[in-house]
Structure 1
Amino acid sequence: MIVWLNGAFGAGKTAAARELVDFMPGSTFYDPELVGNGLRMMLPRKRLEQVSDYQDLPSWRRLVVDTGAALIAEVGGPLVVPMTVLRQEYRDEIFGGFAARRIPVRHVLLHTDETILRKRIAEREEIPGDAHASESVRQWCLAHLAPYRAALTWLTADAHVVDTTGLTPRQTAEHIADAVRGGAGSCDIVQTPEPTAETLAAGVLLFDEEDRVLLVDPTYKPGWEFPGGVVEPGEPPMCAGVREVTEELGVRLDEPLRLLVADWERPQPPGYGGLRLLFDGGKLSTEAAREVLLPGSELRGWRFVTETEAAALLPPVRLSRLRWALRAREQGRPLYLEAGVPTGCPSPADRRGATESAAT
């Protein structure tokens, strides 16, 4: 089990985590900041200059999960993890990675009044012999108070909240231990095993009366997605798409689906890639949309979006796949893609449509 202590810088996560180990027999303190420090020493300066925070490095997010899983295999027992994570897509990636390894996560938010936070930051212990570095750290912590306030909406909905304003680290740890023993902070995330080979996946595009496309927000990986999933062994891909729409949205599709694109996704270690199919599931009536039911352990939300709005939600490869699928739907013929791009020589209409979409 992972007990993840989240909160603003200065909330007392590290001090509480060290105390919490005493209240949870067999537990181990695990600080992902050490992973970030290691990457700072290993990665080229040019790469480090491209990010403002090591959490923005995909390698950090993956190594946090891999290291945590390795520690649990080595020592057993819970891991107590003090780490601020304010971006929900990073939470999804990390917690989803643990879920894929069958490691449950308890998410606890240590919340402190901002006046107290600012006081604690101002009184941070000096770095011996380096006043400039000490001030730099304080300014960095202060700069992250606004992002913390902005993240509180999703944090308080996702985590068990412990108000540490008037608590000592030991009292905070005692509160956390009692809450965890009572099952608080449990993150019910679908356990999607990581693939061990290329996969075949089927997605379905559903449209509303305004021709906007339906996207869903998974709890176990970053970015929005199309309804759909991996085709099971021996299962027809179209049937897999229909099954996934029923399981994910509670919507039953009675008409046959029409293939829009077949996109070969190249392997990019540690991923294996595979073939991604997108089908046209037709229009979803207003009445049917009202009946959409989401599995809370897998999806947290859904919405109809325009192609332009989708650009802010979908990762680049999925966005390219969507844009070509919309072109295929307009032209009434399927397209074959490789890494989100049609192979061969696209027709002038194809090129014009994709260029116009990219421009918007």
Structure 2
Amino acid sequence: MVDDFQVRVVVEDDIGVLHWSGYADQPTLDEAVSLAADDSLIGRGLRRVEASVPATDRLAQRALHKAGFRREGRRRRAVPDGNGGFIDALLYARLIEDQVYGMGAMTAIMDSVMPAHRIIGHVLIRDEHGRVLFVEPTYKDDWELPGGVVEADESPRAGAIREVHEELGVRIELADQPLVTDWMPPYLGWHDAIEFVFDGGRIASGDIEGFVPPPEEIRGYHWVMPAEIPSRVRDFSARRIAGILDGTGLGYTEGGFPIGPVPPGPR
């Protein structure tokens, strides 16, 4: 079914912006979007075609996926919803060099639209007195274990080693297995995350005294006795570290809480 349906591509330099108006059923929309993209990139020699569609328009998103477009971002509250409010818009694009057909194309498209989680690699380091090492960030009040966010295509272990070197100026060896893998709930404007805490062993408290921390990120370092940790970190972080130190919270946790076995019976 088609109702006054029209497709056009507005070109500026070698970039095209795909628009359509009116209503079309899914097969018609799929074919029109695919033909317009092929004509723009192959027939007219453009290097990029992009489209912005409401986040609630599933037909449009399916058509763009089938035509090889990948999601690049979200414009918040960008489109009127018809009721005096606004909804988000999703930005899609297809480049001339993008693979469009075959398994590699589909997985690349799906990779662009699937949820993305932050991965964090932290390291628990103790000194000769049993104190735990923390860094004091410049951008929030609570302290953190050394480490940080893992970069794209970097393993949690490699990310933790890199971050510790950047923050402390020392290179440490980490065990193959993390002490804890914890799901961290949303907080402070962050979405949820998966955090790996590795055992950094023991180092002498004086080993890092001469290193100057990156001033834009870290105010300083602190060696903290276990009993004082809850006053310096978030509750879920305090639970996570306490579970490591007393051995009750190793393995997989959620928000610092150990996950017990699933009770028997129907589900």
TM-score, with length taken from structure 1: 0.38
1:313 aligns with 2:229: no
Give yes or no for the alignment of 1:210 onto 2:132: no
CA distance in structure 1 between the aligned counterparts of 2:177 and 2:171, rounded to whole angstroms: 16
Partner of 2:257: 341
Cα RMSD of the aligned pairs, angstroms, is 2.6
> Partner of 1:30 in structure 2?
none
- What aligned pairs does 1:88-107 form with structure 2 within 5 A after superposition? none
Cα distance, 1:317 vs. partner?
1.3
Which letter does structure 2 place at the counterpart of 1:340?
Answer: G
Q: Cα distance 1:256–1:336, how it changes in 2: closer, same or farther (>3 A)?
A: closer
Query: Matched residue pairs, number?
Result: 149
Partner of 1:222: 141
Aligned residues: percent identity?
36
Q: Where in structure 1 are there 5+ consecutive unaligned residues? A: 1-195, 347-360
1:270 Cα deviation after fit: 4.4
Are 1:262 and 2:262 counterparts? no
- Equivalent position amino acid for 1:336 in 2: Y
Give unpaired runs (5+ residues) of structure 2.
1-114, 263-267
- Note the alpha carbon deviations across 1:205-233, whole angstroms, 9 max, x for none: 11100111001110012211111111111
Matches of 2:157 and 2:228, distance apart in 1: 27
Return the offset for 1:268. 5.7
Q: 1:268 to 1:295 in 2, by over 3 A?
A: closer
Matches within 5 A, 1:65-144: none
Q: Taking structure 1 as reference, are residues 269 and 311 closer, same or farther at Cα in structure 2, changes over 3 Å only?
A: closer
Structure-2 change in CA distance of 1:270 and 1:300 (3 Å): closer
CA distance in 1: counterparts of 2:245 and 2:171, whole angstroms: 22
Q: 1:299 to 1:335 in 2, by over 3 A?
A: same
**Alpha-carbon displacement from aligned partner over 1:310-335 (angstroms, at most 9, x marks no partner):** 1111111111111112133xx8x942
1:295 is matched with: 214
Of Structure 1 and Structure 2, the greater strand share is in 2
Deviation at 1:257, TM superposition (A): 5.8
Q: Which structure has more helix as a fraction of its residues?
A: 1
C-alpha separation in 2, matches of 1:323 and 1:219: 24
Could you tell me which amino acid in structure 1 is paired with residue 218 of structure 2?
L
Q: Secondary structure at the match of 2:166?
A: helix
**TM superposition shift of 1:304:** 0.8
What letter is aligned with 1:308?
A
1:257/1:280 contact within 8 Å kept: no
Q: Please say which structure displays the higher CA radius of gyration.
A: 2
Q: Distance in 1 between matches of 2:174 and 2:241?
A: 21
Contact 2:138 2:218 in 1 (8 A): yes
The equivalent of 1:253 in structure 2 is 172
SS in 1 for 2:161: helix
The answer on whether the counterparts of 2:174 and 2:199 sit within 8 Å (CA) in structure 1 is no
Instruction: Answer yes or no: is the 8 Å Cα contact 1:324–1:335 preserved in 2.
Output: no
1:122-178 CA-partner distances (Å, limit 9, x unpaired)? xxxxxxxxxxxxxxxxxxxxxxxxxxxxxxxxxxxxxxxxxxxxxxxxxxxxxxxxx
Letter in 2 for 1:205: L
User: Could you tell me how far apart the structure 2 residues matched to 1:255 and 1:279 are?
Assistant: 7
Separation in 2, partners of 1:345, 1:255? 29
Q: 1:268 to 1:309 in 2, by over 3 A?
A: closer
Structure 1 pair 310–292 and aligned structure 2 pair: CA distance change class (3 A) = farther
Distance in 1 (CA, whole Å) between partners of 2:118 and 2:195 is 8
Q: 1:257 to 1:281 in 2, by over 3 A?
A: farther
Amino acid across the alignment from 1:202: G
TM-score (norm 2): 0.51
